[in-house]
């Protein structure tokens, strides 16, 4: 579905990002996964090679350094000749009450979940314009729609992701650049798998499909939105949450 495309995926070393990197590579995209540390990037690449996937490379730039991002994207464009897809998946969550949340913690959430998304998107848009089209996809969350009872910084950042997505879709549509977001519900990532049974079971009762999501469920949504099957889909926040409602 993505043969010949070049896709950059931030937060691509584990969970949803890793599964999306693998799925895109299996669909014959050239994938550049970005992680936070050299060791996590190397491990992700090794794990993919064990599955016979070689059309992936990885880097570990500081996503809050625009100049570094710009230089990396320019290098990728020079190496491959084009960039077609950007997935802004890197992010961190929060669950502390506001009284216990420090200014530094709130700033860190906004810096990675919002500012870094702006930096990578700003850096990639000129290359997508050169292609006469492309795709930008962002990872939102179900809490961007319903909020959450504690940890205000995370839903605030994801509300921002939604506004960024909808507005940019209107701005870039004339260049044939599509912009969408995927809003996962409770998904079986490292963070969720470490939760005790007494926490997971009440969550399941809120999900009509009766199970938590798997990373592949979200990766499939990204694949659809990145592909030509979604050529008339832009400015949307696609919920992948089993109809869960908080």
- Give me the residue spans of the domains in the chain: 6-240
Taking all residues of the chain, what is their mean pLDDT, rounded to a whole number? 94
Pairing between strand 134-139 and 237-240?
Answer: unpaired
Write out the CATH class of domain 6-240. alpha beta
Distance between CA 201 and CA 80 in Å, rounded? 47
Q: For 157-216, how does the pLDDT look when each residue is reduced to its tens digit (9 = 90+)? A: 999 999 999 999 999 999 999 999 999 998 998 767 766 677 677 778 889 998 999 999
CB atoms within 10 A of CB 15: 21
Place of tokens 């809003």: 183
**The dihedral formed by the CA atoms of 95, 101, 106 and 112, expressed in degrees to the nearest 10:** -40
pLDDT at residue number 71: 98
Grouping H, G, I as helix, E, B as strand and the rest as coil, residue 13 is coil
- Torsion, Cα 7 134 82 45, to 10 degrees, reads 0
pLDDT of residue 79: 97
d(CA 86, CA 165): 13
Confidence of residue 246 (pLDDT cuts 50, 70, 90): low
Q: How far is CA 2 from CA 142, 196, 212, 226, in A?
A: 27, 38, 28, 8
Q: Is 66 a catalytic residue?
A: no
pLDDT at 206: 85
Q: Which of 154, 175, 224, 232 is catalytic?
A: 154
Residues, the chain, total? 246
Between 129 and 202, residue with greater pLDDT: 129
State the Cα–Cα distance between residues 155 and 152, nearest whole angstrom.
Answer: 6
> pLDDT per residue over 21-74, tens digit each?
999 999 999 999 999 999 999 999 999 999 999 999 999 999 999 999 999 999
- The pTM assigned to this predicted structure is 0.95
State the pLDDT at residue 196: 63
């Amino acid at each position: 579905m993505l043969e010949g495309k070049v896709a950059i995926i931030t937060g691509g070393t584990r969970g949803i990002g890793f599964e999306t990197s693998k799925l895109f590579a299996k669909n014959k995209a050239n994938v550049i996964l970005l992680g936070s540390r050299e060791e996590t990037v190397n491990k992700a690449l090794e794990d993919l090679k064990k599955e016979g996937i070689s059309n992936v490379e990885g880097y570990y730039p500081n996503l809050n350094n625009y100049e570094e991002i710009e230089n990396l994207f320019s290098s990728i464009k020079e190496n491959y000749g084009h960039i077609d897809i950007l997935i802004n998946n890197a992010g961190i969550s929060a669950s502390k009450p506001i009284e216990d949340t420090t200014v530094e913690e709130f700033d860190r959430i906004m810096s990675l979940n919002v500012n870094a998304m702006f930096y990578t998107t700003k850096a990639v848009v000129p290359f997508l314009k050169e292609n006469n089209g492309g795709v930008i996809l962002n990872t939102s969350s179900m809490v961007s729609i319903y909020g959450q009872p504690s940890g205000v910084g995370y839903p605030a950042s994801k509300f921002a992701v939604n506004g960024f997505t909808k507005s940019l879709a209107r701005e870039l549509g004339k260049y044939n650049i599509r912009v969408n977001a995927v809003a996962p519900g409770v998904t079986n990532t490292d963070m969720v798998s470490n939760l005790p049974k007494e926490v997971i079971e009440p969550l399941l009762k809120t999900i009509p499909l009766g199970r938590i999501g798997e990373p592949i469920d979200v990766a499939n949504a990204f694949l659809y939105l990145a592909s030509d099957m979604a050529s008339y889909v832009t400015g949307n926040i696609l919920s992948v949450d089993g109809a869960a409602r908080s």
